[in-house]
Amino acid sequence: MAQPTITDVARHAGVSIKTVSRVLNREDGVRDSTRLRVESAIADLGYAPNQSARDLASRHAHLICLVYDDPSAYELPSAGYIMRMQSGALRVCRQHGYELLIHPCNYRNKDIHADLEGVIRRARPAGILLAAPLSNMRGIVGTINASGTPLVRLSPGLKRVQDRVVATNDREFSAGMVHHLAALGHHRIAFISGHPKHKAVGQRLLGYQDGLEQCGLAFSPQLVAAGDNSFCSGRTAALQLLQQPCRPTAIFAANDDMAVGVMHAAHQLGVRIPGDLSVAGCDDITLAQQVFPPLTTTRQPFAAMAEQATLMLIQGSAKDRPDQDGVVVPGSLQIRATTGPPPE
């Protein structure tokens, strides 16, 4: 049951182990005929290189470490977010012969710095993917950078794109949602803003204003209500918006939880969706497709972001080009059934 080693392959192909190593790593400077001989030896023996040995010799593990805030602390509302990132990162890791290590941790925990230093020292990953909200915390970024491990941050909603960051265009796609509503014929489009500390959500208010302006609609403070990202705050804000004299025909909420709150309030007031009121959200949480009618929303491209970031890490470490520009991965509108033409 002993696995064949590089020595076995070398003997079988009649070359030195170094040549086999060169073939494995696609280094050039190997004659085609030799390469072929080695490759068939590899196939004959069913050989696969031993990662541990490889990692030891090459001074870093072929491992990407995905660090995110521990969701089990809050009972899994963010499961979809994390699964999408995992799946994007995994896809790229596999293409390049890397494995993905997942490392959830809780930012409220004082030991988080020692914890991160621990994984880095033990596993020696080739790079670290740091997800929001951890990616916006100075201390954590500092700890990782101090270790010298290449880092790429996933930071949706950053104002300016920084180096080694993968961001989203929340402002742009929020404007896009306003365009969608305006195109349906809406003039009075309300907005429910989110928690002031949440960066991406802040960008969405700006995007809403951009959208109004681009569509030639006036911005009215009476059409903006403050929420805090929760279902309840969305419900309250909607009740307020819908009971004012000149009621909006569409409500755009800065996240899906609040949008679902809006739907609840509308139901309570006997306002039909989308007949009397169009509703739109942001995030495309799992619930968005499960409510009735299915919610029109915007999807942050978490999987694509993670793919980009992983690629930056792997190629950066391969090419000794650790510094790379930031990248913006565009979100997309998910038009479903809660938006339609205004009444009359």
Partner DNA sequence: AAGAAAGCTGACAACGTTGTCAACCGGAAC
Partner DNA sequence: GTTCCGGTTGACAACGTTGTCAGCTTTCTT
* Structure token digits, residue 332: 């997309």
* 51 touches its own copies by CB under 8 A: yes
* 21 touches its own copies by CB under 8 A: no
Report the residue from 28, 75, 323, 344 that binds DNA according to the rule CB under 7 A: 28
Nearer to its own copies, 286 or 332 (CB): 286
* 25 touches DNA by CB under 7 A: yes
* 99 touches its own copies by CB under 8 A: yes
Report the residue from 36, 43, 44, 50 that binds DNA according to the rule CB under 7 A: 50
Which DSSP state fits 295?
Answer: P
H/E element, 213:
helix 199-214
| Residue 246 interacting entry, from its own copies, DNA, none, C-beta within 5 to 8 Å by type | none
Alpha-carbon gap, residue 153 to 141, rounded angstroms: 9
Alpha-carbon gap, residue 258 to 323, rounded angstroms: 39
Q: Count CB-CB contacts under 10 A for residue 98.
A: 23
**Candidates 113-121, 150-158, 200-208, 214-222 — which segment interacts with its own copies by CB under 8 A?**
113-121
| Residue 30 interacting entry, from DNA, its own copies, none, C-beta within 5 to 8 Å by type | DNA
Residue 112 Cβ vs DNA, minimum distance, rounded to whole Å: 23
* 17 touches DNA by CB under 7 A: yes
Residue 334 Cβ vs its own copies, minimum distance, rounded to whole Å: 12
Report the residue from 121, 159, 197, 321 that binds its own copies according to the rule CB under 8 A: 121
Q: How many residues bind its own copies (CB under 8 A)?
A: 42
C-beta of residue 309 within 8 angstroms of C-beta of residue 129: yes
| Long-range residue pairs from 130-133, CB within 8 A, at least 24 positions apart, any chain | 130/67, 130/68, 130/154, 131/66, 131/67, 131/68, 131/69, 131/82, 131/85, 132/156, 132/199, 132/200, 133/69, 133/107
Question: How many Å separate Cα 204 from the centre of its chain?
Answer: 17
Alpha-carbon gap, residue 82 to 96, rounded angstroms: 21
Q: Exposed, middle or buried by CB within 10 Å (0-12, 13-18, 19+), for 110? A: exposed
Report the residue from 12, 41, 42, 49 that binds DNA according to the rule CB under 7 A: 49
Q: Where on the chain is the footprint of its own copies (CB under 8 A)?
A: 1, 3, 48-53, 55-56, 61, 70-72, 76-77, 79-80, 82-84, 86-87, 90, 97, 99-102, 104, 117-119, 121-124, 148, 286-287, 290, 303
**Which spans of this chain sit near DNA (rule: CB under 7 A)?**
2-3, 5-7, 14-19, 21-22, 24-25, 28-31, 33-35, 47, 49-50, 53-54, 56-59
